[in-house]
């Protein structure tokens, strides 16, 4: 593309097909999108308890059997990045550009790209999970926060190349991380 040309965002479309689906005890998302913001369904204290539960939860990634061989070698890694689609997000949730992180009005209103919110133009979410076991086209993982039935977009092995040093996060994100890890 010639950078001198004007970019027309509506001229490009991408199509994704799920490579599999999530089987999980989680049935409802903890964040809900309304027309102006997101809401934390159960409150921050309950979410902290739920976060600990999710970190221990074993889920299954059921991969399309037609993609035979696609998981080969992944069991040699301890962790993976799972990219998935929050299929329960209502269409109006994709039009939000600013939200209060985790729906808490005490945090500043920020652009969705500064958050991990599922409410975003292309609601692609990612979680680092521990690989427990692989049985043919089913990968058991620990710590996936996707709800049951979430379409899986991709899986990548987690490597030290994926991690960064000297990471800086906003004060409000640090508060969220402290609240859910205590």
In a domain, 3, yes or no: no
pTM: 0.87
Phi, psi angles (nearest 5°) of residue 123: -75, 75
Residues 6+ apart with CB under 8 A from 124: 83, 84, 85, 153
- pLDDT at residue number 47: 61
Q: Number of structural domains, the chain?
A: 1
**Cα(100)–Cα(115) distance, integer angstroms:** 9
Q: Is the dihedral of CA 70, 73, 75, 78 positive or negative?
A: negative
63 touches 19 (CB < 8 A): yes
In a domain, 83, yes or no: yes
- pLDDT at residue number 17: 95
**Cα(146)–Cα(158) distance, integer angstroms:** 18
In a domain, 23, yes or no: yes
In a domain, 44, yes or no: yes
In a domain, 69, yes or no: yes
Which band of pLDDT confidence, cut at 50, 70 and 90, is reported for residue 82?
very high
Print the domain residue range for 150.
15-87+126-160
In a domain, 99, yes or no: no
In a domain, 107, yes or no: no
Residue 45, domain CATH: 2.40.30.70
Q: Is the dihedral of CA 81, 27, 113, 95 positive or negative?
A: positive
Statement: residue 20 has pLDDT above 60 = yes
Statement: residue 2 has pLDDT above 70 = no
- pLDDT at residue number 45: 56
In a domain, 171, yes or no: no
Q: Encode pLDDT of 123-154 as tens digits.
A: 999 999 999 999 999 999 999 999 999 999 99
Q: Encode pLDDT of 33-58 as tens digits.
A: 888 888 876 655 556 667 778 888 99
DSSP 8-state symbol, 154: E
Query: What's the mean per-residue pLDDT of the chain?
Result: 88
């Amino acid at each position: 593309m010639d950078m001198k040309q004007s970019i027309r965002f509506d001229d490009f479309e991408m199509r994704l097909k799920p490579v599999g689906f999530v089987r999980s005890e989680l049935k409802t998302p903890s964040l809900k999108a309304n027309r102006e913001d997101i809401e934390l369904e159960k409150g921050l204290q309950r979410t902290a308890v739920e976060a600990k539960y999710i970190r221990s939860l074993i889920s299954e990634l059921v991969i399309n059997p037609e993609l035979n061989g696609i998981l080969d070698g992944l069991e040699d890694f301890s962790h993976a990045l799972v990219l998935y689609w929050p299929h329960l997000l209502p269409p109006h949730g994709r039009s939000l550009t600013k939200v209060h992180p985790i729906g808490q009005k005490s945090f500043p209103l920020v652009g969705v790209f500064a958050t991990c919110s599922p409410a975003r133009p292309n609601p692609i979410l990612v979680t680092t999970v521990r690989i427990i076991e692989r049985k043919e086209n089913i990968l058991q993982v620990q710590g996936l926060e996707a709800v049951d039935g979430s379409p899986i977009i991709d899986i990548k092995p987690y490597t030290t190349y994926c991690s960064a040093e000297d990471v800086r996060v906003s004060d409000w994100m640090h508060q969220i991380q402290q609240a859910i890890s205590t």
